[in-house]
Structure 1
């Protein structure tokens, strides 16, 4: 299963780089539309497709998504003009089904993994995400202008096809033990109401942390000129620390527990964002942004684990979809706010506002801890 996700991840990053380079060579507006179609449909998929996973067999759904990926990629490959309706529709389809694949994967592991071991599963998934991110960024930087879109598409098609074979093999060997997955009735989104505060904290934290998407480029620009070496240094160090954060989350989670881990990570992320607002040299830029991103993985994996483990297996996909939606919604909200306020406010003030959003997330988690302690005291008195 992890091998399948690794292949999809490598192909996915190669596709993002190749598609954006191809669209950029066409026009700036085409590139902008491509970015929107890569990320925007993810929220729709999280809200409307992920809940459907709970009603079906998760392995079958992952296989269906793999087939859709192959078809969409073939449409792009066969398109004469990269800047065409068929290409944009294919990109949107790829983005739309991505949350369903991840939710099905989480649902599959939730059914076969003991509740206390979900932290290891989600940590491994996050490790694969960041490993493929580093490989994609490094590969894209090394290949540069030699990165041809047809080759990238063929790599992605091959990755999706190999992933499909792996999933089919798993299903054939595990048919009897997996027959019950997806047979339980699912509830509604209202059943997850106790987790709404945690989901809102995820949104707020990503609303602040989303500044990382523009931060490296802005800090690497001096006098209107982008220093590509500085940019690569920041991005690669950020990615390495994100991977380290994902690797370290399990011992921290098991030592402190879910809510204290979330509160501590949110508070330290807010402090890191305050440091990121300071224009005090490359060392502070790299250290503060890398710390923020590493702590972000600790928060994300811990939050996802806490919420998925709090619901029955037949609710895991719905919950995972909401988690992805809040994550993508926060990042998208940061991008929208930056586009609106970028010319009106100083960059330092904008980053401080991001720190404030992270601090609000810390406040929500702290309040949840206080309520939990109060509830435990009440139960003790009643006994």
Structure 2
């Protein structure tokens, strides 16, 4: 099997599994929202918090193994966890929550393995293209998965969503098995290079803070569409689907724009610029100004988020040797999802105490602090470059 064919199969495997994952996520969130806003906020935290631990403690293991094998193990674990949910009495049962936690725990390992796979066969300059392609797949499948999840939740309920996800994971596993079995050239190419000296991560600390703070604010998007689509305590699924679909289209456009903007401005200026514009969008989202404003502000916010994420992920992964790519991808995901989980916790605590617009304004302030951290990184980077020139 050729290298190009292997790359295509890995991308296709990611596409298939993401369709099932998005459908599953919307099915779970719809069920939680029926229990109230506080339950929804807590549910978001439960869904996203384990990702932080998986990205921090499990992702580095991929650097010492074959990435394709790691992805296969993750998919097998996913199938077992999803099958357990079939035998639960309700979405709020202990076994169901435990299974969801396992799914979240292994999620970052799969992406870290993908990034490790591509980093070992891709130059630093081309990593923005790889991560842009992955983001494109994520948002194409977001559109397909959200639509399928909403339809199945309404017609077949949660078992239908589970069946879709299990089928997607199984198909992805078969693709990875084909790569593992027949692609000897690829397996040889994936042998990790010798480790270099210990990396000093201090220069990346501002990026870590910026990623966390931005997602602490932007994480409100997990409940924002449903809340804006609810009137008089009744969720309008048609309005919800309209919001999330247009959100997905703008997010896809943002991921498409990430590469040219990254190449034009560079990593750190792109991160800083996207953060300040995203903060402005969150400020507009705090206004209860009607459906057009809700759709426009949240959609542009998501598009800017994709530009920020692609630039930040590329900056972090390209700063290390190929045999450390999974670890840095795990750190990126840890910063991202710890921010999202923190947003869920904050919303759970404040959702019944403060007006929703005030909560979104707090989120905008967090995103602006991310801009400040990114700006500090830009200034320090340029100061370092000037110092190097003077030394020469």
TM-score (norm 1): 0.90
TM alignment of 1:251-330, pairs within 5 A = 251-330=260-339
Give the Cα separation in 1 of the matches to 2:106 and 2:37. 26
Give the Cα separation in 2 of the matches to 1:364 and 1:80. 44
* Residues 105-151 of structure 1, C-alpha deviations (whole Å, 9 max, x = no match): 11000001111111111111111111222112212333443124444
Equivalent position of 2:5 in the other structure: none
Give the Cα separation in 1 of the matches to 2:375 and 2:229. 36
Instruction: Give the aligned CA root-mean-square deviation in angstroms.
Output: 2.8
TM alignment of 1:49-128, pairs within 5 A = 49-77=58-86, 79=87, 81-82=89-90, 84-128=93-137
Give the Cα separation in 2 of the matches to 1:22 and 1:63. 29
Equivalent position of 2:4 in the other structure: none
Among 194, 202, 214, which residue is 2:203 paired with? 194
Contact 1:55 1:182 survives alignment (8 Å): no
Distance 1:355 1:119, change over 3 A: same
Count of residues in correspondence between the two structures = 382
Contact 2:45 2:342 survives alignment (8 Å): no
Give the Cα separation in 2 of the matches to 1:154 and 1:222. 31
Structure 1: gaps (5+ residues): none
In the TM superposition, residue 233 of structure 1 has moved relative to its aligned partner by 2.3
In the TM superposition, residue 27 of structure 1 has moved relative to its aligned partner by 11
Among 356, 360, 385, which residue is 1:347 paired with? 356
* Residues 313-343 of structure 1, C-alpha deviations (whole Å, 9 max, x = no match): 1111111111111111111111211222233
Q: Which moved more, 1:110-119 or 1:84-93?
A: 84-93
Equivalent position of 2:179 in the other structure: 170
Give the Cα separation in 2 of the matches to 1:276 and 1:122. 28
Q: Which moved more, 1:9-18 or 1:58-67?
A: 9-18
Q: Which moved more, 1:107-116 or 1:86-95?
A: 86-95
Equivalent position of 2:21 in the other structure: 12
Equivalent position of 2:373 in the other structure: 364
Give the Cα separation in 1 of the matches to 2:154 and 2:68. 38
Give the Cα separation in 2 of the matches to 1:42 and 1:188. 28
Give the Cα separation in 2 of the matches to 1:354 and 1:28. 17
* Residues 349-374 of structure 1, C-alpha deviations (whole Å, 9 max, x = no match): 32222111111111111111111111
Among 330, 333, 341, which residue is 1:332 paired with? 341
Distance 1:289 1:34, change over 3 A: closer
Q: Which moved more, 1:12-21 or 1:38-47?
A: 12-21
Give the Cα separation in 2 of the matches to 1:32 and 1:351. 13
Distance 1:280 1:183, change over 3 A: closer
Distance 1:299 1:342, change over 3 A: same
In the TM superposition, residue 13 of structure 1 has moved relative to its aligned partner by 2.2
Structure 2: gaps (5+ residues): 1-9
Contact 1:23 1:30 survives alignment (8 Å): yes
Equivalent position of 2:50 in the other structure: 41
Give the Cα separation in 1 of the matches to 2:287 and 2:381. 37
Give the Cα separation in 2 of the matches to 1:17 and 1:86. 19
Contact 1:262 1:299 survives alignment (8 Å): yes
| Secondary structure of 2:187's aligned partner | coil
In the TM superposition, residue 48 of structure 1 has moved relative to its aligned partner by 0.9
Contact 1:267 1:359 survives alignment (8 Å): yes
Contact 1:18 1:147 survives alignment (8 Å): no
Distance 1:230 1:24, change over 3 A: closer
Give the Cα separation in 2 of the matches to 1:57 and 1:358. 37
Distance 1:122 1:43, change over 3 A: same
Among 198, 212, 233, which residue is 2:221 paired with? 212
Contact 1:34 1:91 survives alignment (8 Å): no
In the TM superposition, residue 101 of structure 1 has moved relative to its aligned partner by 0.8
